[in-house]
Amino acid sequence: MLPLVSLTIFTPLVGALLIAFVPRDRPQLTRWVAFATTLVTLGWSLVMLAGFSTSASGFQFTEDVPWIPFFGIRYQVGVDGISLILIVLTTLLTAISVLASFRPIQDRVKEYMITFLVLEIGMVGVFAALDLFLFYVFWEVVLVPMYLIIGIWGGANRIYATIKFMLYTLVGSLLMLVGILATAFEYHASTGVWSFAYQDLAGFHFSPALQVFAFVTFFLAFAIKVPMFPFHTWLPDAHVEAPTAGSVILAGVLLKLGGYGFIRYSLPLYPDAAHTFAPAIIALSVIAIIYGAVVAVVQPDFKKLVAYSSVSHMGFVTLGIFVFQSQAMQGAVFQMVNHGLITGALFLCVGVIYERTHDRRFANLGGLAGRLPLYATTLGFFMLASAGLPGLSGFVGEFLVLIGTFAVAPLVAGIAAIVMVLGATYLFYMFQQVVFVDLSDFLKGLGDHLHDMAPIEIATLVPLAALVLLLGLFPAPVLDMIQGPVSGVLDHVSHGVALGFLP
Amino acid sequence: MNAGDVTAILPLAATWGLAFLVILVDVIVPGRDRLASGIATLGALVVMGITAAVATQVPQQAFGGAYVLDQLTVLLDLLFLSIAVLTLLYAPDYLRPRRLPLAEFSATLLFAISGAMLVSAARDLLVLFLGLELLVLPGYLLAGFAKRDGLSTEGAIKYFLLGSFSSAVFLFGLAYVWGVTGTTNVSGVSSALQAVAAGHPLSPGLAMGLAFLMSGVAFKVAAVPFHYWTPDAYQGSPTPVTGYLSVGPKVAAFALILRLFVGALAPVKADWVAAVVILAALTMTLGNLVALTQTNVKRMLAYSSIAHTGYILVGLAAYAGAAPGSEAEARGLQGILIYAVAYTFMNLGAFAVVAALQRRPGVTSDLQTFAGLGRRAPLAGLLMTLFLISLTGIPPTAGFFAKAYVILAAIQAGGIVAWLAVLAVLNAAAAAFYYLRVVVYMYMREAPEAAPPVARGFELQAGLAIAAVATIVIGLFPNSLIAIAEAAAKALL
């Protein structure tokens, strides 16, 4: 049997090496090699999806090879429903992002494509790793390519943004390294065996002190990545300065790493600490939902608005995770997928208009409905999906989170539901400013530059639109996949009890 | 002296022989710089082969136990010889355009390396001191090697004055220890101290001795607050020399610590652990904070090397803080060794790129020199990025694994030392800022018009390849290094 997980992880590496040998004066060839690589990678992940059994419990397609035997560190990868759906999301969005970079990226194409493919290795690896040490390695591998993508191919203020992004995420992840090592050490101290394997560590009853310490370090790493209020301040800068494809990946995949980390590691490994901190995290999530929405309302910049809406939408994810309720957590996972598709698409839409105008301020936009009808329709579709229109996928995730939360904490659910109105406010405002009102003088001055979407742009958006519609109407296949793993995680959590603060 | 003695000192004797051979070649055929440095490089590789060959017959002793060839000696000797080989490979492209004599450089370097090798094998206080002096005296020469350059001379004088002062302080400390224990033999000192340590507070004499030894060693490893000579000496020296100074004497000083503090002063380690913890915390933090503000890459790397000293000291603190005989004790020592190996390759690699950029005389090591390097010389830019990522401690590189190792050791040691682990990673995050600033210049700024050419001599490329491969391989497949470090640590305990 093929090592499908490893193939998915390392196919981009092969592609990156191939591109290294493509002559510098053949950028078009470079682009196609990169795109073909991402398609092959997507293919591998789809093969996994096809062969995945929703009824089987535990991890599938596992591979297990000793890596550093002195510490029981293994190259151990595999997928369950949650990680597989996120891997498919990753490979899909990477392929779309590479396609979306064909035109905007004209400078250093070779370096760009190599960086992007290396980024994909890290992202898929994080979702597939079943060894905590390996997970950390992939987690950090993500960092440097993203740093370069924002810093080299980003906008005017890119250096500030990329250093801020790097330092924020690095502080979080380095502390997590201490947490990981402390966890493995305590496991070693009580069993006499070194292991970083998820299956060994999950459900192992770590001492309260370790749980609190490790949970806090993990929380910092994940909360910065999600990002949760008040660790979100790197996000608007990074998004605004990143090139379009960078934003798509940042919003579509990188933010999910945090949510995934909570579900996969924070809860099963440190259930007591999770119970202890859950109220505070729920409060932060609600703040993020409200705050992201309120700040989005007043943004004068198209891209910044979408960036802040991410803070709000990801608040639903963390809320759904930390109420420890089955439907809510399924909703959280579903919301991660949705947010990847919808916000990814919205950033692509921002990119489409930016390509033509090199401006994203609402003051200079407007009236596109008449000039770019196809674009206006597409934007409208994703805007409605983001607002949570029933029948589109955005609705399913938020609805599940809300009913799940309502069963546990009605007040919180009530507040979150009311805030969804705010979400509609800024999205409709955005749509109005961009698509309706009068065509601005600035846009009139662009003349023929302002043409409707090109085939390649349509090609990037159509698959996303189709999936949003499909998942909105038939969420069951995805929910079936994530149901089993979610109940597994909740099973671990249910053994936890809140610790007296502090132990 | 018997046959066993000969095998034991073979690596050291071969290095000396090689140094004399280089001088001889230079005298017989003057002006053939390339020949001399080629002989030195190949010779050093041969000595590495010899060292690896005698490694199968350890442990051995010579001169009545004053000199020992064990797993630790072998590991350190191989490391020192690697430093020599890499430095010799990097030097020609920098020294030749500046008309600095390569043959003299090679011979001086080999003498310094032989001093380091003597330190790594010494089991006697006086031999330790002898090795130390043999190490640092050629170091002063190397620092002032560009003798018509004011900065080089200034750096060398500062290095010399503080270096001799610290040697004197160190010798003073040795004298106290000898006075208390009545022997200069390392195992003799250790057993004498065992009796002293049994429940009694330290005698004033021994306390004085420990304080002087600690200060002297802190000077040599450039730990804060004994680091003031480092930035000037590093910035002023010719770049390949700076590369050497940042690893050679530092690793040798840690060899000295292993032989002296771990070998001889272990019974009273409860009395010096606090000093190491404080030194480690100060060194990491101050080194990084000051490095943040530097705009000259050589000076930045000088301060960052101080920070790395701090990380290695965390390993020592883990050893000292752990209960005697515990696993954490060995883990700390392994951490020191693994970090030293990783640091050697990544730091020398970074300095090699700096040297390559400074091929044309007069080119400074200012950050501006790095502008647009990613486009001008993609490979040099890529390698520099690799070394900087490794120095930052991001996987999958040697620097990451080494850092994880000392952190794990610190966690295992527990207590106050465990908090050093947290401090170490916070420092690593701060360090990311200044390391990655170089990446910003290389990739995110455009090169000025008429940017100076980048050296691409064969030796330099070979040396860079070695450093890069080592940086990646240690990061991805550290198993054999761990095994070697475990054996070396076992030899010491």
Of A68, A69, A144, nearest to B389 by CB-CB distance is: A144
Q: Is the dihedral of CA B314, B316, B320, B323 positive or negative?
A: positive
Residues facing A291 on adjacent strands: none
Q: In whole angstroms, what is the distance from residue A415 CA to residue A427 CA?
A: 19
Chain B residues inside the 8 Å CB shell of A184: 408
**pLDDT band at residue B14 under the 50/70/90 scheme:** very high
Q: Which residue has the tokens 């550290």?
A: B478
Chain A residues inside the 8 Å CB shell of B412: 185
* Alpha carbon of A146: minimum distance to chain B alpha carbons (Å): 13
Q: Which residue has the tokens 């609805």?
A: A399
The predicted-structure confidence for B374-383, as pLDDT tens digits, reads as follows: 888 888 889 9
**Which one, of B431, B343, B336, lies nearest residue A174 by Cα?**
B431
Chain B residues inside the 8 Å CB shell of A136: 395
Q: Count of domains in chain A?
A: 1
Of A152, A170, A175, nearest to B432 by CB-CB distance is: A170
The predicted-structure confidence for B31-42, as pLDDT tens digits, reads as follows: 788 888 899 999
Burial of A452-474, coded b for 16+ CB within 10 Å and e otherwise, reads: ebeeebeebbebbbebbeebbee
Of A143, A158, A177, nearest to B404 by CB-CB distance is: A177
Interface of B with A in 349-388 (CB under 8 A): 374-375, 378
CA gyration radius, chain A:
22
In this prediction, residue B396 carries a pLDDT of: 86
> Dihedrals φ, ψ of B149, to 5°?
-100, 120
CB contact under 8 A, B426 and A175: yes
Chain A residues inside the 8 Å CB shell of B433: 163, 167
**pLDDT band at residue B200 under the 50/70/90 scheme:** low
The predicted-structure confidence for A369-404, as pLDDT tens digits, reads as follows: 778 888 888 888 998 888 888 888 888 888 899 999
**Helix, strand counts (H, E) of chain B:** 19, 2
The predicted-structure confidence for B242-260, as pLDDT tens digits, reads as follows: 999 999 999 999 999 999 8
CB contact under 8 A, A171 and B429: yes
Does residue B71 surpass a pLDDT of 60?
A: yes
Neighbours of B164 (CB within 10 A): 14
CB contact under 8 A, B411 and A174: no
**pLDDT band at residue B199 under the 50/70/90 scheme:** low
CB contact under 8 A, A177 and B479: no
Here the tokens at position A12 are: 């981009």
Chain A residues inside the 8 Å CB shell of B373: none
Q: In whole angstroms, what is the distance from residue A363 CA to residue A450 CA?
A: 17
Helices within B222-326 (DSSP H only): 229-236, 239-257, 269-292, 297-321
The whole domain housing A265 covers 4-494
Residue of A nearest to B379 (CA): A20
Q: In whole angstroms, what is the distance from residue B83 CA to residue B95 CA?
A: 17
Of B408, B444, B478, nearest to A151 by CB-CB distance is: B444
The predicted-structure confidence for B398-447, as pLDDT tens digits, reads as follows: 999 999 999 999 998 888 888 898 899 889 888 888 898 888 888 888 87
Interface of A with B (CB under 8 A): 68-71, 108, 111, 136-137, 140-141, 143-144, 147-148, 151-152, 158-159, 162-163, 166-167, 170-171, 174-175, 177-178, 181-182, 184-185
Does residue A363 surpass a pLDDT of 80?
A: no
Here the tokens at position A336 are: 């991660």
Q: In whole angstroms, what is the distance from residue A398 CA to residue A424 CA?
A: 13
Contacts of B274 (CB under 8 A, 6+ apart): none
Chain B residues inside the 8 Å CB shell of A107: none
CB contact under 8 A, A151 and B404: no
* Sequential DSSP letters for A402-464: HHHHHHH-HHHHHHHHHHHHHHHHHHHHHHHHHHSSPPPHHHHTTGGG-----HHHHHHHHHH
Residue of A nearest to B400 (CA): A137
The predicted-structure confidence for B119-136, as pLDDT tens digits, reads as follows: 999 989 999 999 999 999
- When the pLDDT of each residue in chain B is averaged and rounded to a whole number, the result is 88
**Which one, of A493, A318, A330, A491, lies nearest residue A404 by Cα?**
A330
**pLDDT band at residue A159 under the 50/70/90 scheme:** confident
* Sequential DSSP letters for B350-382: HHHHHHHHT-STT---BGGGGTTHHHHSHHHHH
**pLDDT band at residue A503 under the 50/70/90 scheme:** very low
Q: In whole angstroms, what is the distance from residue A16 CA to residue A37 CA?
A: 9
The predicted-structure confidence for B86-106, as pLDDT tens digits, reads as follows: 999 998 888 888 888 888 899
**pLDDT band at residue A238 under the 50/70/90 scheme:** confident
The predicted-structure confidence for B309-333, as pLDDT tens digits, reads as follows: 999 999 999 998 888 888 888 999 9
Of B396, B437, B444, nearest to A137 by CB-CB distance is: B396
Here the tokens at position B428 are: 């690593």
CB-based contact B384:B353 (threshold 8 Å): yes
Packing angle, helices B102-121 and B239-257, rounded to 10: 10
